[in-house]
């Protein structure tokens, strides 16, 4: 059947480990300087990127702070502007109401003055009409009451006075 076979560790693995270790030592010796230069270059590049990132972060934080300050100022200015606008609106409203009240008062006074003027004019017109009507009625009444001899005597006297005045 099967035979039990043992692996010869000392003959296979030890020489392979020795060869591998020798290969690693030779590889490290040969690549030591280029690897050192490569990694030191990478380290310098990393450091420059880190410094640049720190500067960018610091500038971004400063800009962020500036923006926050500006936002706070804008908020304060907005509140101040709203308060000022409300105060100006109240002053303007009061002024408009006062001007409207004054205009209404002046209009009332003007209407009263116009009504008084129109009343006086109508009264004067009525007086004139009454006087004219009275004169016409008086003349008519006198003409009816006067007879012809009185009229002719008055006309003669009037004519004499006119001739004497000339």
Domain ranges of the chain: 13-165
- pLDDT band of residue 12 (cuts 50, 70, 90) is confident
Say how far apart CA 47 and CA 53 lie, in whole Å. Answer: 10
* Res 139: pLDDT: 77
Instruction: State phi, psi for 8 to the nearest 5 degrees.
Output: -85, 85
Q: Look at residues 127, 146, 125 and name the one whose alpha carbon lies nearest to residue 135.
A: 127
Contacts of 146 (CB under 8 A, 6+ apart): 154
Rg (CA), the chain: 65
What's the pLDDT score for residue 104?
A: 92
Question: In angstroms, rounded to a whole number, what is the distance separating the alpha carbons of residues 73 and 83?
Answer: 15
Cα angle: 119, vertex 121, 123; to 5 degrees: 65
Q: What is the pLDDT of residues 86-133, one digit of tens each?
A: 999 999 999 999 999 999 999 999 999 999 999 999 999 999 998 888
Would you state the pLDDT for residue 13? 80
Task: Answer yes or no: is pLDDT of 16 > 90.
Answer: no
Residue 161 has a pLDDT of 85
The whole-angstrom separation of Cα 144 and Cα 132 is 18
Spatial CA neighbour of 35 closest among 43, 149, 165, 96: 43
Residue 154 or residue 122, greater confidence: 122
Question: 2 falls in which pLDDT band (50, 70, 90)?
Answer: low
pTM, two decimal places? 0.39
């Amino acid at each position: 059947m099967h035979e039990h076979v043992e692996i010869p560790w000392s003959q296979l693995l030890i020489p392979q480990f020795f060869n591998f270790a020798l290969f690693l030592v030779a590889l490290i010796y040969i690549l030591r300087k280029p690897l050192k230069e490569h990694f030191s270059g990478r380290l310098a590049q990393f450091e420059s990127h880190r410094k640049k990132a720190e500067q960018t972060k610091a500038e971004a934080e400063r800009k962020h702070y500036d923006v926050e300050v500006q936002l706070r100022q804008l908020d304060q200015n907005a509140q101040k502007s709203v308060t000022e606008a409300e105060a100006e609106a109240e002053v303007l409203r009061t002024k408009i109401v006062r001007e409207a009240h004054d205009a209404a008062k002046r209009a009332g006074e003007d209407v009263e003055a116009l009504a008084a003027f129109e009343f006086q004019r109508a009264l004067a017109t009525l007086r004139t009409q009454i006087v004219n009507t009275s004169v016409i009625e008086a003349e008519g009444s006198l003409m009816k009451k006067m007879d012809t001899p009185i009229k002719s005597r008055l006309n003669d006297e009037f004519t004499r006075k006119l001739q004497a005045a000339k």
